[in-house]
Amino acid sequence: MYTISIGDIQKNISLLTKLTEAFTIVDKRKNQNVAIVYPIKKYSIIETLAGKYRNRVERVDDLEMAKEEAMRQMMSEKYGLSY
């Protein structure tokens, strides 16, 4: 298990985002273990956020195109425009 100080995490926060193995966070001034951090498995956030509607949510391959389509649809409803 790796040991990292609080200062190292403050200097380089990407240590937490690129975590592949468990490591211990240590406070060097007090010589105490503050926390043990474990990596999480990657999962789709859709199921977490959708709740009981998760079966009705469609996956989107291109997020930018989905945003544009939603904007066009909203503008056509609000202003009566058609594209």
- Tens of pLDDT, residue by residue over 32-58, are 999 998 887 666 666 666 677 767 767
* H or E segment to which residue 18 belongs: none
pLDDT at 26 (0 to 100): 92
By mean pLDDT, which of 18-22, 40-44, 67-71 is the weakest? 40-44
Q: How far is CA 14 from CA 18, 19, 39, in A?
A: 6, 8, 13
> In a 3-state reduction of DSSP, which class is residue 24?
strand
Domain coordinates of the chain in residue numbers? 2-37, 45-79
Q: Is the dihedral of CA 51, 56, 61, 66 positive or negative?
A: negative
* pTM for the predicted model, two decimal places: 0.44
